[in-house]
Amino acid sequence: MLTPLSFSLLRQLSDGSFHSGEDLAASVGLTRARVSQLLKQAETAGLALERVRGRGYRLLATPDFLEAESLRDALRRINVEVLPGDAKAPLLPAANDDDLALPGNAIPLIPMRPPISVEVVDQVDSTSSELLRRASRRDIHGALLAAEWQTAGRGRRGRIWTAVAGGSLTFSLGWRYEHGAGYLAGLSLAVGVAVIRALEAENLAGVELKWPNDLIYRHLKVGGILVEVNGDSLGPSTVVVGVGLNVRLPSNMKRDIAQPVSDLTAVAGRGAAPIDRNRLLARLVKELAQTMGTYGEHGFAPFAAEWQRRHAYQGKVVRLLLPDGASVKGTVAGVDSTGALVLADGPRRARFLAGEISLRRA
């Protein structure tokens, strides 16, 4: 578990130099023993530290911590409209809120391309859970929340999502649509396309999709997408898109994660410059915001062909593991307009809905 004080220590150590236990302790007003304890916990969160008697501590791999203002600058440089740092998300108009009611009972239109509000926190249970909590009262349309460390990161189908402080990207983007959940069924697949476009724009080519929206490199998982939709079946809806990416995972962490994983540093290849997480996150947000807008206007159709081209298993024989334990074998024919996987078995075609099925190479 990392605490705000651990982050304060890690920020000091992020210059890569040695800092004595005494200096670190004085800077945060703790004893040296407590500093040593906090740094031990940081190691369990995936940060590699060196301790040298007489010199102190230093971080072996120095993380480039996320920083809201750097992120806003990076977004502005790539022409994304960003709200100033002190802008507060507006309250949602509630039925009985007279002071918020619009003149003439007008229903406010949801802008297709809202400006992005950027918030970076050291730690939260889950960026998606936090945006979902806020959505009951505040307008989260265009709200980006990124965290260095999630204490209860969530994956699809109730799994936990493991990340490394300073070595992952974990963030969520809130959005609102006039549409209901049926129209939004293919959104999580479109988000997969957006993430891969962003990676390619940052010279990280070779990542593919695995239905419905895993991000894989050479069949190893490098990231995941969790799209959660709330609202009436006919709309409007509030959506929280959560994205987790492994940027630099220490090898012990790779071994500890239940499924075979890789990271974007492997995608970049040997000798490549270290990945700048603020810059990569800005590019991801740009592509995501564009995709969310396009999806609102045209649905999944503009993404279907590209999704299939980027699907690692397109045209391959696969085995689907169904939630009831049964399995089905077939050739991947593609996805339909709702994002359902279409499997062919001779002349027969069967559709499978996202979120229910695991996909394995046969």
Question: For binding to ligand BTN (CB under 6 A), which residues are involved?
Answer: 126-128, 150, 153-156, 159, 161, 170-172, 214, 224-226, 242-244
- Closest to ligand BTN by CB, 57 vs 161, is 161
Q: Are 58 and 16 in contact (CB under 8 A)?
A: yes
- Closest to ligand BTN by CB, 171 vs 217, is 171
- Closest to ligand BTN by CB, 163 vs 268, is 163
Q: For the residues of 175-219, what is the DSSP string, one character each? A: EEESS-TTGGGGHHHHHHHHHHHHHHHTT----EEETTTEEEETT
Could you give the angle at the alpha carbon of 72 between the alpha carbons of 11 and 152, nearest 5°?
55
What residues contact 161, with CB distance under 8 A and at least 6 apart?
A: 126, 150, 153, 154, 155, 170, 224, 226, 244
Rounded Cα–Cα distance for residues 245 and 203 (Å): 15
- Would you put residue 346 in left (φ > 0), alpha (ψ -120 to 50) or beta? left
Half-sphere exposure of 303 (CA within 13 A, CB side): 33
CB of 12 to ligand BTN, least distance (A): 26
CB of 18 to ligand BTN, least distance (A): 33
- Closest to ligand BTN by CB, 70 vs 127, is 127
CB of 189 to ligand BTN, least distance (A): 13
CB of 144 to ligand BTN, least distance (A): 11
- Closest to ligand BTN by CB, 190 vs 243, is 243
CB atoms within 10 A of CB 275: 21
Q: Are 278 and 285 in contact (CB under 8 A)?
A: no
CB of 241 to ligand BTN, least distance (A): 8
- Closest to ligand BTN by CB, 56 vs 242, is 242
Structure tokens at 339: 């994002």
DSSP strand E in 205-339: where? 208-210, 214-217, 220-231, 237-246, 317-321, 327-335
Q: Looking at beta carbons, which residue is closest to ligand BTN?
A: 224
- Closest to ligand BTN by CB, 38 vs 131, is 131
CB of 267 to ligand BTN, least distance (A): 17
CB of 104 to ligand BTN, least distance (A): 39
